[in-house]
Amino acid sequence: MTDNKDNALVLENFLPYRLSYLTNIISHQLAQLYTTQFDITPHEWKILAILNRYPNISAADAGERTAMDKVAVSRAVKGLSEKSLLHKIFSREDKRRSVLNLTGQGTDLFHKIAPLVTDYENALLAILTKQEQEQLSQLLDKLTHHVTTEKS
């Protein structure tokens, strides 16, 4: 996005900064929808949502699917467990590995929050045409594929 001839970094035009900035604003607005009303943190919401979609996964798998670091995942799992929203069962084969699942209460909470966040998403996407929405999705997929398969 930078076309400066001297290759000077202009932060406001730097793609990673722009994506981060937008993500931070959206995440903050989304968090306002559920933190106060449901006493759940953004990291807990991500784990709650991922476990609703993918039950019986480990904390490490949940971290990979959300791009959260191990400490954030651990805190979120602990918080959800203390709130009786998930339960952890240790593997019989490997006691270091545990499987996470939502409790009935966790599933109920997910179904209360999901409409709030999808309404937010719909309002955000409504400013784009259908073609722009499809293009945005394709571009995000392309960038995600590139950064997740890129060799370090």
Whole-angstrom Cα distance, residue 71 to residue 27?
A: 19
Written out in words, the top-level CATH class of the domain with range 39-147 is mainly alpha
Whole-angstrom Cα distance, residue 62 to residue 55?
A: 10
Name the DSSP class of 89. E
The domain ranges of the chain are 39-147
Q: pLDDT band at residue 98, thresholds of 50, 70 and 90?
A: confident
Residue 5 has pLDDT above 70, yes or no: no
Q: Which residue carries 């959206």 as its tokens?
A: 26
Give the angle 72-75-79 at the CA atoms, nearest 5°.
140
Residue 93 has pLDDT above 80, yes or no: no
117 and 33 in contact (C-beta within 8 Å)?
Answer: yes
**19-78 pLDDT, tens per residue?**
999 999 999 999 999 999 999 999 999 999 999 999 999 999 999 999 999 999 999 999
Q: Which residue carries 């001297």 as its tokens?
A: 6
Residue 16 has pLDDT above 70, yes or no: yes
Q: What are 102's strand-pairing partners?
A: 86
Mean pLDDT of 142-147: 95
pLDDT at position 50, please? 98
Around Cβ 117, how many Cβ atoms within 10 Å? 15
Whole-angstrom Cα distance, residue 98 to residue 108?
A: 23
Kindly state the tokens that stand for 74.
């651990």
Beta strands, E only, the chain:
86-90, 98-102
Q: Maximum Cα–Cα distance for the chain, whole Å?
A: 60
pLDDT at position 150, please? 75
Residue 152 has pLDDT above 70, yes or no: no
